[in-house]
Amino acid sequence: MKLEYYAAVTVVKLLGMLPRNAALALGQVAAWTAFLLSKRLRAIAEWNLKLALPEMGHAEREQIVRGVFSNLGRLLAEFCQLPKLTAQNVSQRVIYDGYENFAAALQRGQGLLFLTAHYGAWELCPYAHALYGHPLKFVVRPIDNPLIDRLVNRYRMLSGNQIIQKKNSLKEILVTLKRGAAVGILIDQNTTRDAGVFAPFFNIPACTTTSLATIALRTGAAIVPGVLIWDERLRKHRLRFEPPVALMQTGNKQQDIVNNTALCNQVLEELVRKHPDQWLWVHRRWKTRPEGEKELY
């Protein structure tokens, strides 16, 4: 465990000391190495793409899988460079796209739920937003190695953001929203049957956390989708905010939770379809299956 931590520290410090372009280049070397060595992750990504986009040909799927690893290399480099970012230079790396959607929703005063995903350089996403003057709290699951977990969380909070540990997070989320502030929640990971509901994601039932929909219905907080999109032409990231999700409220609480969770999945799916190489296809998103249905992995 300590050896893994020291290796992580070495990589973080090395990429953090380099000029950004050099760090990005080295991140691509790491990505290419991982692509060649990680047969299991390549197989998961390839299978996920077959499940989600069956009309796609092998060559196109392979190109997307390569892009997924390239995106992870970019994420690694940008994460290591986080301490260099300031309010004065953040615009050199991240620009807004659709900021008015975030601002208008926040001005409602009922709090804001930042619906996001493992998309683009996702660690840079809330970090840059905080440097632009909008710090938030976001929910995280602890990394298995506690030493690396502390390292990563220390970097995450350098820009003024605060961490909410996923376990027993509800009270802190509700208090934050009551103050009219924002909370970020990633909902694109597989969850267990007791913690989620099955909602379509690429036309496949995906066990999805109900936390976002449940909290929004309970508090009146707006759900604003946002992801960081890499713009190769500009060599910058676009922090894209979509319009708030139009919540369905029929009076049937449980059905409303299911329906609105499905709406959130639909929004994420549309974003993934636009830039499929920037989403984490190496994750077993459809691992949990409805009762009686065979496993997909």
Residue-wise pLDDT for 49-63, tens only, equals 999 999 999 999 999
What pLDDT does 2 receive? 85
Mean pLDDT of 150-154: 96
What pLDDT does 105 receive? 96
User: Over the stretch 112-132, which tens digit does the pLDDT of each residue have?
Assistant: 999 999 999 999 999 999 999
What order of strands is seen across the sheet that includes strand 222-231? 94-97, 236-241, 222-231, 112-116, 182-186, 137-140, 162-165
What pLDDT does 72 receive? 98
Reported pTM: 0.95
Mean pLDDT of 23-28: 97
Q: Is pLDDT larger for residue 239 or for residue 6? A: 239
Give the span between the Cα atoms of 73 and 23, in whole angstroms.
10
User: Over the stretch 201-220, which tens digit does the pLDDT of each residue have?
Assistant: 999 999 999 999 999 999 99
What pLDDT does 168 receive? 86
| Burial group, residue 144, by CB count within 10 angstroms (0-12, 13-18, 19+) | exposed
The percent of residues above 70 in pLDDT, for the chain, comes to 100
Task: Provide CB contacts within 8 A for 247, sequence distance 6+.
Answer: 213, 216, 217, 223, 256, 260, 263
Give the span between the Cα atoms of 238 and 148, in whole angstroms.
28
pLDDT of 38 above 90? yes
Give the span between the Cα atoms of 22 and 168, in whole angstroms.
41
Task: Provide CB contacts within 8 A for 161, sequence distance 6+.
Answer: 126, 127, 130, 135, 136, 137, 138
Assign 1 a pLDDT band (cuts: 50, 70, 90): confident
The percent of residues above 90 in pLDDT, for the chain, comes to 97
**Phi and psi torsions of 189, nearest 5°:** -105, 145
